[in-house]
Every structure is written in C-alpha cells, then in structure tokens.
Amino acid sequence: MTGIVGSNEQIPVPAKDYSAPIPLKPVLGTTPQTRDAALGVAVNGVPIYDYTGGGEMTVEDLYHTQAEHDTLQTEQLDACGGHAGRGNDYHYHVKPTCMIDQMKNKGDAAIIGWAYDGFPIYGDNNPDGSHIALDVLDVCNGQPDANFGYRYHTSVEAPYIIQCLMGEVPDMRDLPRVAPMDAPGWFGGGQESGVPPLGGVQNLVFTQDATGKRSMDYTYKGEAYYMRYTPATTPDCYDFETKTVTDGGEVKTGEYCR
C-alpha cells in the first residue's frame, strides 16, 4: 500500500475462506469473457484483477484503453502493483513486481500466476526469453502455448496484465470477489467505500507490527489522516479507528468483521 497517491481510503484486511477456482483441465474458448471480479491469482495467493478500477467492463471496452479508469496511470497502485478494493481486499491490477523479485525461480520461464480459466500467466517476455513483438498478444493479453495450449502475459503497456479470459469458465458470475466488511450482527451492505481525495494524498505509508496492528497514515492538503485497526476478540473482526478525508476528518471507531 505504501506510496499510493490516488487512494480510495480502503485498507487491506485478510480475506476469509477465499478460494481460487483454477480448472485442472483448461479448455480454450473463442470469445473473450470479462467480469468485475478476480480473473486469476498470483503464485503468492494474491488475487489478480484487470487493469481498470471503473467496475464492470463490456467486451467492447476491451478493445480500447480506458485511461480514466487505468489504476496505474491514476496512481491508485503501490510499488508492488496492488491496492485494497472496496472489500478491503488487497489485489493486483498490473505486474506484481515485488512478488517476482522474491521468487527463487525468477526469470522469463517462471509462471507468476494462474488465470481462473486454468491457463498460466508469465511475465513480459516469452518463456524462452525472447521478446514479444507488438500486436502478438490478443485482447486478453495472451497467445498460444505449446505446453498448455494458451498462456497469458504481463506487458509494459496497457492492459499490463490479463484483462479477460479466453478459456471456458462454467459461470463467470462465480469468479471470486470479497464483500465489504460489516458491523457484528448487521448485514446491510457493509462499510461504505471511500472517495478518492481530489488530487490525491501524500506520503502514504502502511505499517504492520507483530501483534497484527495495522496502520495507514497519509496527509492531504497539509493535514494528517489515518486508518488503524487491530484484531478484535471476536473471530474475523477488527477494531477500527479512522480519520479520513471521506469522513471530513472526523475520528470514527468501531468493530467490523469479515
């Protein structure tokens, strides 16, 4: 989270019972499929979304860059390529650079993730190290593969990572999303999502200590804001204290749960 400018004032809270539905026998389809949900998962377990932050994309949207919803260009992502979404869930929208740097098998031949149609995701180059020429990758950022039948890639230019699925999926509506957190005993739609402060925040730093206490501190127009939370005694719940731009600087406290 550290370094985000276009903050939506959401924070990363561990997900509960998150499953990654990867088919073991993928079948390549003929029509790209899109969904405002995770399209795959990195090998470290972090979900992968398309590059946009503007909600559901239509098939027509896939064929032109949505600059106004480009999470990288609008500075919504940290240095590792991710941020927290409306469900307070951390996920990637572009190449997961920090994860790749930590991989013992780092290199062009390393699979960095799996799409939810069962096909693998590689980095910017072909597995043999050769450069991928312009216009080789299809609309989903993939191409044929001799071993798997098909593979996806990351890229320097938009869409940066998979933006749709070319393989068959039983029901795109089953792709995983993390719901907003709720107060105990109340299931009315969860926490309201934050509103990105106009012009962005400054000096955003995220920290976590050994006790599980997490804190996101930042400034906006010279004033300090923060979002802090610690594990509560109730399972899968957290005690929050926040002072956000969305709330007009009012300090709020409460317990919210997965």
pLDDT digits over 73-102, tens only? 999 999 999 999 989 999 999 999 999 999
Give dist(CA 8, CA 178) in Å, integer: 16
Query: What is the structure's pLDDT at 16?
Result: 87
Query: What is the structure's pLDDT at 190?
Result: 61
Which whole number is the average pLDDT over 107-123? 98
pLDDT digits over 152-197, tens only?
999 999 999 999 999 999 899 889 988 888 877 555 556 677 788 9
Query: What is the structure's pLDDT at 191?
Result: 67
Q: Is the pTM of this model over 0.85?
A: yes
* Nearest CA among 184, 53, 231, 33 for reference residue 116: 33
DSSP sequence for 10-78: ------SS------SS--EEEEEE--SS--EEETTS-EE--SB-SSPPPTGGGGS--GGGBTTTTT-S-
3-state class (DSSP) for residue 98: helix
pLDDT digits over 36-72, tens only?
999 999 999 999 999 998 777 888 899 998 999 999 9
pLDDT band at 146 (very low <50, low <70, confident <90, very high): very high
| Domain residue spans of the chain | 19-177, 178-258
